[in-house]
Amino acid sequence: MAHTFQTDDVRLAPIAAKVQAGERLTEEDALALYASPDVLAIGWMANFVREKRHGNKTFFNVNRHINPTNVCVAACRLCAFGRKKDSAGAYTMALEEAWQAAASGYTEAVTEFHIVGGLHPDLPFEYFLDLIAGLKQRFPQVHLKAFTMVEVAFLAKRAKLSIRQTLEKLKLAGVDSLPGGGAEIFADRVRSIICDHKIDGAEWLETARTAHQLGLRSNATMLYGHIENDEDRVDHLLKLRALQDETGGFQTFIPLAFHPDNTPLRHLSKTTGMLDIKNIAIGRLVLDNFSHIKAYWQMLTPKIAQIALRFGADDLDGTVIEEKIYHDAGATTPQGLRRSELERLIREAGREPLERDTMYHPVIRNETSFTVSV
Ligand code: SF4
């Protein structure tokens, strides 16, 4: 560590002592971090933890997003992606189309398909089981990270199955792990405004708990920069930390910057760089039982994500071919980055790029194929 810790903020010195001693931060500590404007001091602490865990290593993967449908019965105010069945722009891929989309237009072999979509009122559960089984059959070497806790709960309801039975069937069809979306902010007050049609925070956590019990790892997200306050963010982090203590099933925490364009909340301002960096750093400090903190470049922009690698983040996500959800909400980032571009961002931040698979095993490549070291 080249720099020594410095701050004029008296609230931060005792927190820095705890961080250096490896002690768990309290709710009050987390609130003090959010209240402090000293982003360099907060970043110093987060970087201390990040380097202690991972040194200079920075992870990324080569992945493709597949969004099988944007038709959705929910009408979350945070969303620019979902459409009613008969609205302009609504689409649902036929199975063959989804399998073709998985295979098309990219020369580097992907190691992961990230599959999420809307809550379609008519598609039967079998469509999703067939989608997954067909992908597994065609791309047996590719990890299938599919369906948020919200989608799982919706599919369970449609199929009249329990969450556990639904997850068991998805796992049997070929789902390897779950993404972390749909968590938004757990606080009921906020959820009732931004996504009142979704499962509540307790149901999201219970679905994640069941997935972890079945051996399915998942990620966890937090959507910030809308109507939530510091207490809501801290409450969200502490609930994730408590579940992780219990199951150990979360891999990565991903703070997601809210993009208001084309949503009913379009009157809200976009997040600032300061808020983006603080959420990465505070996530790293509070979630002491999470291995990885991801700076998701699609939402943060590659520039902010790169800086985040010095403020607690150790993962940049992946090449993300054909991202739709945040681009419908006005994201101006490219829809995909080449592997070489991700490596450049990481190297320029003074870090060491390490291609991983979804489970963080190193990936070793030649021109057209890859092997995973386990
Ligand atoms: S956020 Fe998800 S559940 Fe809500 S409207 Fe959009 S697609 Fe549907």
pLDDT (tens, 9 = 90+) of the chain, 374 residues, equals 568 999 999 999 999 999 999 999 999 999 999 999 999 999 999 999 999 999 999 999 988 889 999 999 998 999 989 999 999 999 999 999 999 989 885 556 889 999 999 999 999 999 999 999 999 999 999 999 999 999 999 999 999 999 999 999 999 999 999 999 999 999 999 999 999 989 999 999 999 999 999 999 999 999 999 999 999 999 999 999 999 999 999 999 999 999 998 899 999 999 999 999 999 999 999 999 999 999 998 889 999 999 999 999 999 988 766 556 656 666 666 667 778 888 999 999 999 999 999 999 999 887 666 677 65
d(CA 373, CA 61): 14
Measured in Å, residue 76 CA sits from the centre of ligand 1 at 6
E strand or H helix at 303:
helix 302-308
Structure tokens at 45: 């602490």
Q: How far apart are CA 294 and CA 312, in angstroms?
A: 9
Q: Note the pLDDT of residue 298.
A: 84
State if residue 194 touches ligand 1 by the CB under 6 angstroms criterion.
Answer: no
Whether ligand 1 lies within 6 angstroms of the CB of 321 is answered as: no
For β-strands 177-178 and 57-61, DSSP reports them as unpaired
User: Atom 3, ligand 1: which residue's CA is nearest?
Assistant: 74
User: What does the pLDDT read at residue 69?
Assistant: 97
Ligand 1 centre and the CA of 191: distance in Å? 13
Supply the DSSP symbol for 269.
P
**pTM, to two decimals:** 0.94
Six-digit token string for 234: 């801290």
pLDDT for 323: 56
pLDDT of residue 243: 98
Read off the tokens for 236. Answer: 């969200």
Backbone φ and ψ of 92, nearest 5° = -140, 125
**Separation CA 245–CA 253 (nearest Å):** 14
CA distance 118 to 69: 6
Q: How far is CA 173 from CA 100, 115, 133, 163, 168, in A?
A: 19, 14, 5, 15, 9
Nearest-angstrom CA–CA distance, 126 and 103: 22
Q: Which atom of ligand 1 is nearest to the CA of 195?
A: 4
Which residue from 63, 138, 108 is spatially nearest to 323, judged by alpha carbons?
63
Q: Is the CB of 68 under 6 A from ligand 1?
A: no
Note the pLDDT of residue 254: 97
Neighbours of 137 (CB within 10 A): 10
Helical spans, DSSP H, in 94-247: 95-103, 125-138, 149-159, 163-173, 188-194, 201-213, 230-247
Q: Which two tokens stand for residue 11?
A: 């609230």
Amino acid at 320: V
- Report the separation in Å between the CA atom of 359 and the middle of ligand 1, taken as the mean of its atom positions: 27
Six token digits for residue 47 = 């970087």
State the distance from the centre of ligand 1 to the C-alpha of 150, rounded, in angstroms. Answer: 9
DSSP assignment, residue 122?
Answer: S
Residue nearest to atom 4 of ligand 1 (CA): 76
Q: Is the CB of 82 under 6 A from ligand 1?
A: yes
| Long-range contacts at 272-276 (CB < 8 A, ≥ 24 apart) | 273/304, 273/307, 274/39, 275/224, 275/225, 276/300, 276/304, 276/308
User: Would the CB of 81 count as within 6 Å of ligand 1?
Assistant: yes
Phi, psi angles (nearest 5°) of residue 361 = -80, 140
Helix (H), strand (E) at residue 280: helix 273-286
Residue of the CA atom closest to atom 1 of ligand 1: 79
Predicted local distance difference test score (pLDDT) of residue 326: 58
Q: Quick one: which atom of ligand 1 is closest to the CA of 118?
A: 7
User: What is the Å distance from ligand 1's center to 348 Cα?
Assistant: 36
